[in-house]
C-alpha cells in the first residue's frame, strides 16, 4: 500500500483564502481605527481645553464668568458675557438676514429657474462659498463699512432710531464698524452654504407628489407652499442650525468689521445694531498673543471651551429636532 505524504505545497485556492482573511482583518482594524480616531480627537480637544481653562474656572467659577462683563487684563479679572453675547447676537441677526434669501434662492433654482440657468446659478453659489473668509473681511472693511457709515446708517439714525419700542436697536455712533455690518458680512458668507443645503433638501421631494398636486389643479405657488415646504421642513431647519454653527465659529471676516469692543456700555447699548461689539472667536484671535499672565491665557481657553460647548450643543439640538420632525412627518 502506497502512503501519500504531505508535500508542503499550498494550493492557490488555499493561499487566496488565507490572504483574503488577512486582508479582511487588516481592513477591519484600519476602519475601526479611523472611526475611533474621530471621537478620540473630540474628547482630547475637550480635555485639553478643560485642563488649560481650569485655573480660570477655579478663580471665577462658571456663573460669575458667564455673567460678568469685566475684561481687565491689568487686574486679571475676566468675564465672558460681552464676547459670549456678541457671538450669539451677531449670529442671530446674520441668520435673520440670510434665511429668507437662502430659502428664496433654493426655491428659484429647484422650482422656478429655466433648465439652462440652473447650473449657472448653482455654480455662482458654489463660487461664492469658496471665497476665503479673509477676502470677505477685507471687502467688508474697505467697501461695505464706508457704504454703511456714509449712506445706510445715517438714514437708519434719522428714520428708525426714533421709532417707539424698537428704536433702541438703531441707536449708536453709526461708524460702519459695528454689529450691523458684521451681521451683513456673516449673512453673505452663510447664504451659499445654507441655500445649497436647502436646495439639496428640495431635490429629495418626489416628483410624483408635485405632479399629483398639479393634477388636482394646484398652482405653482400652492405646490411650493403646501407640498414642497412641509415636506422639506426638517431639512430647512437643519440647514439653518448648521449655518448658525458655522457663523458662530467665524473669525477672520468678523475681526475686520466688529470693532472688538469689550466695553460697549449698558445692555441696551449692546443690543444696538449700530454699536461695536466683540465675539469669542475675535477675542481669541486678537488676544492670545497678548496674554502675558497664566490666568489671562487660562481665561482665553475658558472662552474656547464655552464656544466649543455651544457649538456641540447646537449641533446636538439640531440633530434631535430634525429627527423629531422627520418622525412626525413619517407618521
Does the residue 69 lie in any domain? no
Summarised one tens digit per residue, pLDDT across range 74-103 is 888 899 999 999 999 999 999 999 999 999
* Under 8 Å between Cβ of 253 and 189: yes
Domain housing 128: 79-330
Q: Are strands 77-78 and 71-72 parallel, antiparallel or unpaired?
A: antiparallel
Does the residue 226 lie in any domain? yes
User: Higher model confidence: residue 29 or residue 52?
Assistant: 52
Does the residue 101 lie in any domain? yes
Answer whether 0.85 is exceeded by the pTM. Answer: yes
Segment 267-285 shows an average pLDDT of: 91
The rounded mean pLDDT for the chain is 87
Check which CATH number belongs to the domain holding 209 and give it. Answer: 1.10.3720.10
pLDDT of residue 1: 47
Does the residue 22 lie in any domain? no
pLDDT of residue 241: 86
The Cα–Cα gap between 54 and 10 comes to 62
DSSP 214-283: HHTT--HHHHIIIIIHHHTHHHHHHHHHHHHHHHHT--HHHHHHSB--S---SHHHHH-TTS-B--HHHH
Residue found by looking up cell 471665497 in the block: 131
The Cα–Cα gap between 235 and 326 comes to 9
- Is residue 248 scored above 50 in pLDDT? yes
Does the residue 26 lie in any domain? no
Half-sphere exposure of 67 (CA within 13 A, CB side): 4
Does the residue 40 lie in any domain? no
pLDDT band at residue 297, thresholds of 50, 70 and 90?
very high
**Quick one: cell of 131?**
471665497
Does the residue 54 lie in any domain? no
77 C-beta neighbours (distance < 10 Å), count: 14
Q: Which residues are bridge partners to 78 per DSSP?
A: 71
For the chain, state the CA radius of gyration.
27
Structural domain tally of the chain?
1
Does the residue 178 lie in any domain? yes
Summarised one tens digit per residue, pLDDT across range 221-241 is 888 888 888 888 878 888 888
Per cent of the chain over pLDDT 70 is 92
Amino acid at each position: 500500500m502506497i502512503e501519500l505524504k504531505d508535500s508542503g505545497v499550498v494550493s492557490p485556492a488555499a493561499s487566496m483564502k488565507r490572504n483574503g482573511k488577512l486582508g479582511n482583518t487588516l481592513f477591519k482594524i484600519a476602519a475601526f481605527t479611523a472611526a475611533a480616531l474621530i471621537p478620540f480627537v473630540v474628547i482630547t480637544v475637550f480635555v485639553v481645553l478643560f485642563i488649560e481653562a481650569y485655573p480660570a474656572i477655579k478663580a471665577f467659577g462658571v456663573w460669575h464668568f458667564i455673567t460678568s462683563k469685566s475684561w481687565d487684563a491689568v487686574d486679571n479679572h475676566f468675564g465672558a458675557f460681552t464676547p459670549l453675547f456678541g457671538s450669539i447676537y451677531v449670529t442671530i441677526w446674520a441668520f435673520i438676514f440670510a434665511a429668507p434669501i437662502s430659502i428664496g434662492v433654493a426655491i428659484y433654482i429647484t422650482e422656478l429657474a429655466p433648465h439652462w440657468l440652473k447650473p449657472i446659478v448653482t455654480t455662482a453659489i458654489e463660487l461664492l462659498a469658496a471665497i476665503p473668509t479673509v477676502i470677505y473681511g477685507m471687502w467688508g472693511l474697505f467697501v461695505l463699512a464706508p457704504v454703511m457709515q456714509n449712506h445706510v446708517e445715517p438714514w437708519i439714525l434719522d428714520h428708525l432710531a426714533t421709532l417707539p419700542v424698537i428704536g433702541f436697536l438703531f441707536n449708536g455712533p453709526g461708524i460702519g464698524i459695528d454689529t450691523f455690518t458684521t451681521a451683513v458680512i456673516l449673512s453673505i458668507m452663510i447664504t451659499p452654504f445654507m441655500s445649497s443645503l436647502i436646495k439639496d433638501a428640495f431635490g429629495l421631494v418626489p416628483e410624483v407628489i408635485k405632479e399629483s398636486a398639479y393634477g388636482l389643479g394646484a398652482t405653482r405657488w400652492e405646490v411650493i407652499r403646501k407640498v414642497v415646504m412641509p415636506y422639506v421642513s426638517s431639512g430647512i431647519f437643519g440647514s439653518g442650525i448648521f449655518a448658525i454653527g458655522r457663523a458662530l465659529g467665524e473669525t477672520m471676516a468678523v475681526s475686520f468689521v466688529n470693532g472688538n469692543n469689550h466695553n460697549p456700555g449698558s445692555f441696551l447699548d449692546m443690543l444696538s445694531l449700530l454699536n461695536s461689539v466683540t465675539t469669542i472667536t475675535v477675542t481669541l484671535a486678537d488676544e492670545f498673543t497678548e496674554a502675558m499672565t497664566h490666568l489671562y491665557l487660562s481665561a482665553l481657553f475658558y472662552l474656547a471651551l464655552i464656544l466649543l460647548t455651544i457649538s456641540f450643543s447646537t449641533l446636538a439640538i439640531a440633530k434631535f429636532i430634525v429627527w423629531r420632525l422627520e418622525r412626525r412627518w413619517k407618521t
